[in-house]
């Protein structure tokens, strides 16, 4: 039986893999994508990770993975389908194999087989939140995108809109302004949520126009996006804005589906866990963006990975799970 299965290989999962290896734990990191790095891979520039100023997000993600590989961390490319407490899966297990009857811990079911482990570090991160407005789904991939660094190049010399007011929206607007003729940043309030340094940069760009107090009500077009319908939340005025692309950056939703019913999550789906990353299910830990916390950054995700492994070690000592 493994000591720990780490699910996800963004900064939290990779940091956990590195710490687990150095702690001498038998660990496997399961990642559904062939490439490690998580959301950081889609970040054009990271300028707040100490020691690596202005590093490209993709390069930083690669560096994390190279570090883990150099230490000999074990990875498995597979999608996790579910996690079961061993006792709950006992009946099924008995049918599958007699050898595991005396074990405790968890069964991590993947599309590439089952892993038996004493503990789990859930580091699945988060995905893009949707606006859920008419046209959003219809034009996904036809002018609607959730990743400026992935799709921005298709909009060279074109007009785009970014919806949102957080760090990602500001970064997207800055990134798109380099290639696009014009970028509208559409925010539902009269103040951005993004870090001050990003706000200042956005506001200094001549081809970025911020449309305050505006919500996107609908995205229209024929085969491709042509118009986004905006509503001024103060005056109620409706306006049609002609754009070639719409980049939606309205936050993230935790990828915690497989943990439902196993650990407690808050109303947004973030796992309720403190700084030690321990969930309310003994043996399951949550690290990175999936954990309910105040600051979601690469550095806090990496810190979670380290803290989670420390908590795993303490748990293993306390619980004395036998093989």
**Residue numbers annotated as active site:** 147, 150-151
Q: What pairing do the DSSP bridges indicate for beta strands 182-186 and 27-31?
A: unpaired
**Single residue of 32, 67, 84, 188 touching ligand NAP by CB under 6 A:** 188
Give the interface segment with ligand NAP, choosing from 98-106, 152-160, 188-196, 225-233 (CB under 6 A): 188-196
* Sole window of 70-78, 93-101, 158-166, 205-213 interacting with ligand NAP (rule: CB under 6 A): 158-166
Residue from 30, 168, 183, 277 in contact with ligand NAP (CB under 6 A): 168
Number of residues that bind ligand NAP (CB under 6 A): 20
**Listed ranges 110-118, 225-233, 250-258, 308-316: which one lies at the site for ligand NAP (CB under 6 A):** 250-258
Residue 250 is a binding residue for ligand NAP (CB under 6 A): yes
Q: Give alpha helix (H) positions in the chain.
A: 11-22, 57-71, 90-96, 148-151, 167-177, 196-204, 298-319
Q: Cα–Cα distance between 295 and 111 in angstroms, integer?
A: 33
Indicate whether 80 belongs to the interface with ligand NAP (CB under 6 A): no
Would you say 32 or 44 has its CB closer to ligand NAP?
A: 44
Is residue 245 a contact residue for ligand NAP (CB under 6 A)?
Answer: no
Tell me which of 167, 244, 255, 304 binds ligand NAP, using CB under 6 A.
Answer: 167
List Cβ<8 Å contacts ≥24 apart for 303-306: 303/15, 304/12, 304/15, 304/16, 304/123, 304/277, 305/11, 305/12, 305/13, 305/14, 305/15, 305/16, 305/17, 305/18, 305/19, 305/121, 305/123, 306/15, 306/16, 306/19
> Nearest to residue 43, comparing CAs of 27, 61, 30?
61
**What is the rounded CA–CA span in Å between residue 153 and residue 102?**
56
Question: Count of CB atoms within 10 A of residue 133's CB?
Answer: 17
Task: Mark the segment that binds ligand NAP (CB under 6 A) among 90-98, 107-115, 239-247, 248-256.
Answer: 248-256
Whole-number minimum distance, CB 189 to ligand NAP, in Å? 5
Q: Which residue is nearest to ligand NAP (CB)?
A: 166
Count CA atoms within 13 Å of residue 308 on its CB side: 37
User: Contact between 296 and ligand NAP (CB under 6 A)?
Assistant: yes
Judged by the rule CB under 6 A, the positions of this chain that interact with ligand NAP are: 48, 131, 163-169, 171, 188-189, 193, 215, 249-252, 296-297
């Amino acid at each position: 039986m493994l000591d720990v299965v780490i699910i996800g290989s963004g900064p939290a999962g990779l940091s956990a893999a590195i710490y687990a290896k150095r702690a001498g734990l038998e660990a496997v990191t399961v990642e559904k994508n062939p490439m490690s790095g998580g959301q950081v891979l889609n970040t054009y520039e990271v300028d707040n990770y100490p020691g690596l100023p202005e590093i490209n997000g993709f390069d930083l993600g690669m560096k994390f993975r190279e570090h883990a590989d150099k230490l000999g961390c074990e990875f498995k490319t597979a999608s996790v389908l579910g996690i079961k407490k061993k006792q709950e899966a006992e009946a099924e297990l008995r049918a599958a194999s007699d050898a595991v009857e005396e074990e405790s811990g968890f069964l991590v079911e993947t599309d590439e087989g089952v892993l038996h482990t004493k503990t789990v570090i859930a580091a699945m991160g988060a995905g893009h939140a949707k606006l859920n407005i008419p046209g959003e789904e219809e034009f996904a991939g036809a002018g609607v995108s959730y990743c400026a660094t992935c799709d921005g190049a298709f909009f060279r010399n074109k007009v785009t809109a970014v919806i949102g007011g957080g760090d990602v929206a500001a970064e997207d607007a800055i990134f798109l302004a380099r290639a696009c003729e014009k970028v509208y940043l559409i925010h539902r309030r009269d103040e951005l949520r993004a870090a001050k340094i990003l706000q200042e940069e956005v506001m200094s760009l001549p081809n970025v126009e911020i449309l305050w107090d505006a919500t996107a009500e609908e995205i229209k077009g024929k085969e491709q996006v042509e118009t986004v319908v905006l509503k001024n939340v103060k005056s109620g005025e409706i306006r049609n804005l002609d754009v070639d692309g719409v980049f939606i950056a309205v936050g993230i939703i935790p990828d915690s589906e497989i943990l439902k019913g196993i650990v407690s999550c808050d109303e947004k789906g973030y796992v309720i866990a403190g700084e030690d990353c321990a969930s309310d299910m003994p043996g399951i830990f949550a690290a990175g963006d999936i954990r309910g916390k105040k600051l979601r950054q690469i550095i806090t995700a990496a810190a979670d990975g380290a803290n989670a492994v420390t908590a795993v070690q303490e748990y293993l000592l306390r619980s004395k799970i036998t093989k």
